[in-house]
Amino acid sequence: MPRRPLFSIVVCAVALGVGATAAGCSGTGIDDSTSPAIGNPSSSTVIAVTAPSTTLPLTQTPEYVASNTPCPAGLRELGAVELRAAAPGHSVGLSPFLQLPDATVMVFDPVGSGPRRDGGFVGDRRGRIWRFEVNGTGAAELGAEPVADFSSNTAAEHDQGLVGMTFGPNGRLWINRTDRHGDSVLTVLTPTADGSALLGGFTDVLAVSQTNAQHNGGALLFGPDGLLYVSFGDGGGLGDPHHHGQNLATPLGAILRFAVVDGGSSDTGDWRLVPALGNPDLDAGSDPRIWAYGARNPFQMTLDDETATLWVADVGQQCMEEVTVLGLDEGGANLGWNSYEGSRRFVGDELDDHRVPDFEYRHGRGLCAVIGGHVYRGSELSWLAGRYVFADLCGGDVYAVSVQPGTQPDEVWSLGISTQRPVGFAEDHQGELYVIDIETGVRRLTG
């Protein structure tokens, strides 16, 4: 694969209003149609998929009808309990960490990264990446100029942009972005030995064609076995009109798992991504890169090292938000979309292999899109240990919940903190958490 000079990167423009709703648009991976009157059918009014959506006018497709049927009564509410009532004597604060409007992704330097100081990299919505260093007060100081800028080659409509960032083998920085044509591209960059800058080239190691600017997914991370997990949404449209979620021949609507083959070379231009050994054999015509499927827009997922579980936050259509906790031995899991939205039926056929979410809650009452989310493993808020900390885009509040796979949690805690428009979280090497707000920057959760 050719190496090219650095030139530009981005994330998630927000589409608001009736026009966006009718088109199935969403912002930062989230549909902005949050009225309780807009929803999905109850289980008794499941819409059968009887013909390809392209043969029907938009407003007559099963997906459109289902997406504009009011949500039924009785769906699980978030029902958050205020922290002072749930855990008397405990409190959580938000401490400013770095000010960067349009911030979308952030990672800390990997452990054992040689002479590097305490710092990392942060990316903004327009596709620029800065180096930051943590000063003596615990706040971050940004470099004067970006160390990488992909903005001239990145689309930034709806859910497009810089949507993922992680460190990989040999301390390389991996990013997931949409290029100027709107296709998803995984790119590998190389930090200098001290981490203060990036070397002057990059390598694109994967490209996935997207059908439009919606539901591009984009989370990426490396598991304890060195395998790369990457999430892609269903490609957009109201209700997944192309049925990508249940189509095993496309990487859209799926979580892919790769092995990185470097051929013994330190030159990323020689690296290849290949389907990981042990990926499920789903079907004779299936994409061998698929590890799990049936997702709508899992643009945030994280790994809990202590339990070796992958936490997938999948943004819902109109009624339900869902979080699924997958063991790393659960390859082949079918998360259900678009036959199901969460645990409830949506369109088409029932599934014998539906992997129901481990935690879900209803839209409405100021809630519209789950923003994952890490299992807390720090020490400053030790009483939160083992709880999944997440937010919702519309309300901006931050929550914590104890999730046991296979059993819906009894109680969600409202931590009493909020940001204007949360789009993600980051975790440092001590297990402390940071919430990324696209309006203002990054804040650290404190005791």
**CATH class (in words) of the domain with range 3-446:** mainly beta
For 366-378, b/e burial (b = at least 16 CB within 10 A) is ebbbbbbbbbbbb
State pLDDT tens for residues 44-74.
346 554 444 457 788 889 999 999 999 999 9
> How many Cβ atoms from other residues are within 10 Å of residue 264's Cβ?
6
State pLDDT tens for residues 245-278.
999 999 999 999 999 999 999 999 999 999 999 9
pLDDT number for residue 84: 96
Mean pLDDT along residues 129-158: 92
For 424-443, b/e burial (b = at least 16 CB within 10 A) is bbbbbeebbbbbbbbebbbb
Question: Shortest CA distance to 9 belongs to which of 179, 166, 172?
Answer: 179
What's the pLDDT band for 24 if we cut at 50, 70, 90?
very low
Q: Are strands 228-232 and 254-261 parallel, antiparallel or unpaired?
A: antiparallel
What's the pLDDT band for 287 if we cut at 50, 70, 90?
very high
The answer to whether the bond into 338 is cis (omega within 30° of 0) is: yes
Mapping DSSP to helix (H, G, I), strand (E, B) and coil, where does residue 303 land? strand
pLDDT number for residue 114: 62
Mean pLDDT along residues 279-289: 95
State pLDDT tens for residues 339-395.
999 999 999 889 999 999 999 999 888 899 999 999 999 999 999 999 999 999 998
More confident residue, 159 or 261: 261
Mean pLDDT (the chain, rounded)? 87
pLDDT number for residue 37: 26
pLDDT number for residue 290: 98
Mean pLDDT along residues 175-180: 93
What's the pLDDT band for 113 if we cut at 50, 70, 90?
low
Mean pLDDT along residues 70-87: 95
What's the pLDDT band for 330 if we cut at 50, 70, 90?
very high
> How many Cβ atoms from other residues are within 10 Å of residue 121's Cβ?
25
pLDDT number for residue 13: 27
pTM for this entry: 0.89
pLDDT number for residue 407: 85
Lowest mean pLDDT among 6-20, 147-161, 216-230, 399-413: 6-20
Q: Considering Cα of 169, then 172, then 177, then 179, what sign does the dihedral take? A: negative
Q: Are 398 and 348 in contact (CB under 8 A)?
A: no
Mean pLDDT along residues 281-305: 96
What's the pLDDT band for 200 if we cut at 50, 70, 90?
confident
